[in-house]
Structures are given as C-alpha cells and as structure tokens.
C-alpha cells in the first residue's frame, strides 16, 4: 500500500464533544475509484472537507503523493492536483458557465497578476474551458450565467470546474444528486472514462452508480470506517447490511 496516492491515517474531527470523524484511515490507490458510502449524517461531507483542506482536522495525517499535506490549505492542495466538487454548489453565480471554468484554467495557467489584457480575449483559456464544458455536456450553455442554470446543469458545471484544475485526485461529493436520469448516466460514463487519468474518491447515494464504478468501497457510520473492501465484499458484509443497507431497505 505504500504506492497509495492518498493515504489517510487516524483522521479525526470534533466540534466540542461531538465527534464527527473518528480515527478514519483509508488508502486510495492511483487510478482507482474509491467510494465512501454511509447513512445520512455519517460524516461523509465532513471527511471530504477535511481531505480537501476546507476543514482543519483535530488529529491524524493526510499524505498525498508522498507528501504530508495535513497542514496545507485548500488552495495549496488544489495546486498539487487534489480537487473537489461540492454537494451544495458554490459556483460564481454572476459569471457565465464558460467564465467559471476559464477561471479554474487561469488558476494554473500563468500568473493572475495581469492587469490589462481582458481575460475574455485569451483564447487559450476559453478553448480549454470549452473542452471541459463539452465533456460534461454543457457546451451549449457556455454563455449562460451560472446562477441561471438548472440544478442538474449546475452539478455538471461544478464537475467541469473541478476538471479544469486538472486534478490527479478528485473528491466528488454526491456528483449525481439532483441530476436527471440521462445526465446521471452521462456522468457515470464520464467518470468511467476519466478513471485512467484521474483517481477519484466518490461519495454517492446512488448505489447502482457506486457499485458500477467503484474499485473499492468504504462504509462510514457515525464518523467511523466500518469496513473497506471490494464492492462484492462490502455488499456481502453482514455489518454493512445491518448498519447501512438494512436501513436503506427499511
């Protein structure tokens, strides 16, 4: 497991007496999709926020590509190729879809301390942004304001922005929530195609998608990892059936 791209050791987060993440340890191998599932309130989004650097952890260690990034902030992690998508979209509502993506391209393509040339005339930025929009199915929405897109389109744009940072590891927080059936199918195909280039940590409630995509699945219950294994192992695990799948069925 030493070649794991992301290695999380005993990560914890608590708010006062409330322990949201307890001693979480996972390894994500390069080129894999590692799904984290669990009932509502299990602390999945908190864990993603800790991994992305949005939240500081109280204890534990996050090692990414051989580097201890526990103390790095979100921007520094993004620049190292660790990007995330948000469950509740945080797009720039007054920017067009294209501008939202172009800004993410700009973040790693040259200095942003340029004060004179209009960014809209930089074809390199726009062209690359367009390819990301096209790959997420938003090519015909490029000039629409992000704030005026439909819920599903916002999810797609969220993903296009994350891809524009050229991540090596992508943390996906329920990317399919709120998308229509066709859009969801398209995104699942996209993730499958991306897998050769981008490693992914996926939080998702859509079990069909999880079991179709994931190489490994971890089950998170009350902030603790109950079990980690292949999709088949996890599906068969009695603890999981009791803690999670049982609840889903009920």
Partner 1 sequence: MTDLSHIHAAAAPRTRLAGRLKLALGVFAIMAVVPPVAQALDEPFVVVIATRMMIFAIAALSLDLILGYGALVSFGHAAYLGFGAYAVAILSRAGMDDLLIQILAAMAASAVFALVTGAISLRTRGVYFIMITLAFGQMAFFFFVSFSTLGGDDGVALAARSTIAGMPLLQDAQGMFYATLILLIAVFAGLYRLTLSRFGRVLTGTRESALRMEAIGFRPFPYQLTAYVIAGCLCSVAGVLLANQAIYVSPAYMSWHRAGELIVMLVLGGVGSLTGAMIGGLVTIALEEGLARYSEHWRLGFGMILILVALFSPGGLSGLLRRLGLVRDGK
Does the footprint of partner 1 cover residue 31 (CB under 8 A)?
A: no
Minimum Å distance from CB 113 to partner 1? 6
Rounded CA-CA distance 154/160 in Å is: 10
Q: Which of 7, 57, 87, 96 binds partner 1 (CB under 8 A)?
A: 96
In this structure, the number of other CB atoms found within 10 A of the CB of residue 120 comes to 12
Q: Which of 98, 187, 221, 240 binds partner 1 (CB under 8 A)?
A: 98
d(Cα 193, Cα 157) in Å, to the nearest integer? Answer: 18
Q: Which is nearer to partner 1, 142 or 226 (CB)?
A: 142
Contacts of 177 (CB under 8 A, 6+ apart): 87, 155, 204, 205
Q: Which of 5, 91, 149, 172 binds partner 1 (CB under 8 A)?
A: 91
Q: Taking CB under 8 A as the rule, does residue 202 contact partner 1?
A: no
We find the least distance from the C-beta atom of residue 176 to partner 1, in angstroms, to be 19
Which of 47, 104, 176, 214: binder of partner 1 (CB under 8 A)?
104
Q: Which residue has the tokens 């708010």?
A: 15
- Out of 1, 16, 18, 115, point to the residue binding partner 1 (CB under 8 A): 115
Among 1, 40, 113, 249, binds partner 1 (CB under 8 A): 113
- What sign results for the dihedral spanned by CA atoms 207, 210, 213, 219? negative
Site for partner 1 in 131-190 (CB under 8 A): 131, 134, 139-140, 142-143, 161-162, 164-165
Determine if 119 is a binding residue for partner 1 (CB under 8 A). yes
- 8 A C-beta contact, residue 26 and residue 209: no
83 binds partner 1 (CB under 8 A): yes
d(CA 70, CA 56) in angstroms, rounded, equals: 8
Instruction: Using DSSP bridges, classify how beta strands 18-29 and 169-173 pair: parallel, antiparallel or unpaired.
Output: unpaired
Q: Could you tell me how many residues of this chain bind partner 1 (CB under 8 A)? A: 53
- Work out how close the CB of 35 gets to partner 1 at its nearest, in angstroms, rounded to a whole number: 21
In whole angstroms, the minimum distance from the beta carbon of 237 to partner 1 comes to: 34
Residue 71 vs 108, nearer CB to partner 1 = 108
Q: Which stretch binds partner 1 (CB under 8 A): 61-69, 117-125, 210-218, 232-240?
A: 117-125
Give the C-alpha separation, 236 to 217, whole Å.
12
Strand partners, 28: 6
**Secondary structure of residue 8 in the 3-state scheme:** strand
- Backbone Cα Rg of the chain: 18
Instruction: State the Cα–Cα distance between residues 46 and 41, nearest whole angstrom.
Output: 10
Give the Cβ contact number of residue 88 at 10 Å: 10
Residues that bind partner 1 (CB under 8 A): 52, 54, 73-75, 78-79, 83-84, 86, 90-99, 102-104, 106-108, 110-123, 126-127, 130-131, 134, 139-140, 142-143, 161-162, 164-165
């Amino acid at each position: 497991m030493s070649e794991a791209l992301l290695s999380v050791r005993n990560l914890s987060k608590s708010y006062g007496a409330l322990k949201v993440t307890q001693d979480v340890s996972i390894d994500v191998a390069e080129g894999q999709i590692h799904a984290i599932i669990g009932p509502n309130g299990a602390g999945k989004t908190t864990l993603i926020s800790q991994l992305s650097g949005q939240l500081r952890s109280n204890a534990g260690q996050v090692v990414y590509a051989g580097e201890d990034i526990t103390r790095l902030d979100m921007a520094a992690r993004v620049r190292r190729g660790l990007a995330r998508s948000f469950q509740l979209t945080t797009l720039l509502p007054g920017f067009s879809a294209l501008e939202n993506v172009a800004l993410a391209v700009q973040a790693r393509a040259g200095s942003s301390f340029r004060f004179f040339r209009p960014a809209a005339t930089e074809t390199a930025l726009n062209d690359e942004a367009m390819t990301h929009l096209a790959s997420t199915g938003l090519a015909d929405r490029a000039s629409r304001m992000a704030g005026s897109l439909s819920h599903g389109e916002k999810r797609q744009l969220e993903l296009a922005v994350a891809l524009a940072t050229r991540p090596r590891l992508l943390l996906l927080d329920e990317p399919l929530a709120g998308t229509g059936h066709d859009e969801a199918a398209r995104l699942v195909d996209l993730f499958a195609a991306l897998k050769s280039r981008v490693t992914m940590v996926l939080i998702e409630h859509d079990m069909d998608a999880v079991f179709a995509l994931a190489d490994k699945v971890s089950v998170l219950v009350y902030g603790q990892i109950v079990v980690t294994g292949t999709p088949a192992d996890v599906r068969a695990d009695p603890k999981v059936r009791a803690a999670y799948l049982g609840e889903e069925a009920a």
